Amino acid sequence: MTLTPFTETEERQALRREVAKLASAYGREYFTEKARAGEKTTELWLEIGKQGFLGTNVPEEYGGGGGGIGDTAAVCEELAAQGCPLLLMVVSPAICGTIISRYGTEAQKQRWLPGICDGTGTMAFAITEPDAGTNTHKITTTGRKDGDGWVLNGRKVWISGIDEADHVLVVARVTDDGSGRVKPVLFVVPTDAPGFEATAIPMEIVSPERQFQVYLDDVRLPADAVVGDEDGGLVQLFAGLNPERIMAASFSTGLARFALDKAAAYVKEREIWGVPIGAHQGLAHPLAQSKIEIELARLMTQKAAALYDAGLDAEAGEAANMAKYAAAEAACDAADRAVQAHGGNGITQEYGVAGLLVAARAGRIAPVSREMILNYVGMHSLGLPKSY
Ligand SMILES: Cc1cc2nc3c(=O)[nH]c(=O)nc-3n(C[C@H](O)[C@H](O)[C@H](O)COP(=O)(O)OP(=O)(O)OC[C@H]3O[C@@H](n4cnc5c(N)ncnc54)[C@H](O)[C@@H]3O)c2cc1C
């Protein structure tokens, strides 16, 4: 597809081309075969790590590329556009990599970032809980001081990639510092720690990456498991959540491009009335609409990334939410239109289009739902009263 010099540097465009080339050597068939066999895409993950594409947003002295979230988002989009959407890109380099780069101690950066960058030390991220859901202020997983260290207890749900991660960055509440306040604190937890258990949740997404219920039962951690200032709370968390939204948007626009490319190729070939079915406006217009919606979502995603990389966290928050919304909508519509354009073939495993529906649909729910973005825009952009 044509790249956009209007917003992106030549360097960023070159990065996109290199990632697209690497990912196309694997492709959708590889990805779905791994998913259906219950296997992992470890070769692809390690290769993108080896080529320096995983940690593009992490400082160079810790094994990263020294770029911004816009680079990592471009990598995520190009992987998805080749049929290999990798959710762990959103979690490991973007959320965990950003938070540790910004708020970790020197020792923590040296310990965790090189593995996040080369793919050998993937880190999952756990904030969602069964009884809190969208309302993350209500999380009950608790960190309690125990001598020099900590003890963690609680339960998390829908946590991606526990089976591929050595560690998980867990958001817990701490109440016992004597101040009477509840504050969110970030802990790096080894996935093989005594008291840490994870159970896979059977999902309908065609993906090698799985989601888990996580149980933390008296998990003991050393003092240096805490990332950032114990009192830094929400600010530190949001340092990771805006990149998460930008990455989720890129995941969706990449998926949408993949669906649209497949649909456009199909309607140019398939002839049943003496002309390719793409000659009919009933097929061409929805695909053209998708093209427009995807490009608009990509532009907003690039804007959000540019704002974030310029250090404008507040402005990036609005743009990241809008980008994430627009991209998820574009992906859902593109996947649906791609299925329709393929007729019966749209539902076969051979054509591999229907499998995109659930993955695209997940973008309307996670990491922040469509409704919560509308709540945010209503309140912050329009100044309406808080509605939740
Ligand atoms: C594929 C996938 C991967 C995920 N990976 C991770 C991960 O790695 N780590 C992690 O921590 N979490 C992860 N999540 C969790 C995800 O962030 C949550 O599913 C999401 O935040 C929604 O929470 P919930 O599912 O509990 O829905 P609920 O909070 O129960 O909400 C249900 C519905 O009600 C709507 N709703 C709720 N409150 C309001 C309101 N006030 N106004 C209007 N509508 C409202 C929501 O928008 C949603 O549509 C993942 C989820 C999925 C599906």
Print pLDDT tens along the chain (388 aa).
555 556 789 999 999 999 999 999 999 999 999 999 999 999 999 999 999 999 999 999 999 999 999 999 999 999 999 999 999 999 999 999 999 999 999 999 999 999 999 999 999 999 999 999 999 889 999 999 999 999 999 999 999 999 999 999 999 999 766 666 678 899 999 999 999 999 999 999 999 999 999 999 999 999 999 999 887 767 788 788 899 999 999 999 999 999 999 999 999 999 999 999 999 999 999 999 999 999 999 999 999 999 999 999 889 999 999 999 999 999 999 999 999 999 999 999 999 999 999 999 999 999 999 999 999 999 999 999 998 8
Which atom of ligand 1 lies at the shortest distance from residue 133's CA? 26
Residue 291 and residue 260 in contact, taking contact as beta carbons nearer than 8 Å: yes
Distance CA 279, CA 268 (A): 8
CB of 141 within 6 A of ligand 1: the answer is no
pTM listed for this prediction:
0.96
- Could you say which DSSP state residue 3 is in? -
Tokens of 65: 């590329």
User: Quick one: pLDDT at residue 2?
Assistant: 54
Ligand 1: distance of its center to the CA of 365 in Å? Answer: 5
Distance CA 170, CA 156 (A): 9
> Strands 226-227 and 183-190, how do they pair?
antiparallel
Tokens of 123: 């880190």
- Could you say which DSSP state residue 83 is in? T
User: Quick one: pLDDT at residue 145?
Assistant: 92
Ligand 1: distance of its center to the CA of 342 in Å? Answer: 31
Q: Where are the alpha helices (DSSP H) in the chain?
A: 10-36, 42-50, 69-81, 87-89, 97-103, 106-118, 233-269, 281-309, 313-341, 355-362, 370-376
Exposed / middle / buried, residue 292 (Cβ in 10 Å: 0-12, 13-18, 19+)? exposed
Distance CA 124, CA 89 (A): 10
User: Quick one: pLDDT at residue 3?
Assistant: 53
Backbone angles phi, psi at 353, to 5 degrees: -95, -40
CA angle 255, 260, 265 (to 5 degrees): 130
Residue 256 and residue 360 in contact, taking contact as beta carbons nearer than 8 Å: yes
**Which H or E run contains 206?**
none
Ligand 1: distance of its center to the CA of 34 in Å? Answer: 26
Tokens of 296: 């608009």
Tokens of 143: 């960190």
Which atom of ligand 1 lies at the shortest distance from residue 136's CA? 21
Q: How far is CA 288 from the centre of its chain?
A: 26
Q: Which residue's structure tokens are 């100044």?
A: 383
Q: How far is CA 354 from the centre of its chain?
A: 21
Ligand 1: distance of its center to the CA of 290 in Å? Answer: 26
Residue 219 and residue 196 in contact, taking contact as beta carbons nearer than 8 Å: yes
Distance CA 208, CA 320 (A): 27
Residue 98 and residue 239 in contact, taking contact as beta carbons nearer than 8 Å: yes
Residue 206 and residue 359 in contact, taking contact as beta carbons nearer than 8 Å: yes
Distance CA 189, CA 106 (A): 18
CB of 242 within 6 A of ligand 1: the answer is no
On the question of a cis peptide bond just before residue 367, with omega within 30 degrees of 0, the verdict is yes
Pocket test for ligand 1, best of 134, 162, 170, 247 (most atoms within 8 A of CB): 134
User: Quick one: pLDDT at residue 240?
Assistant: 81
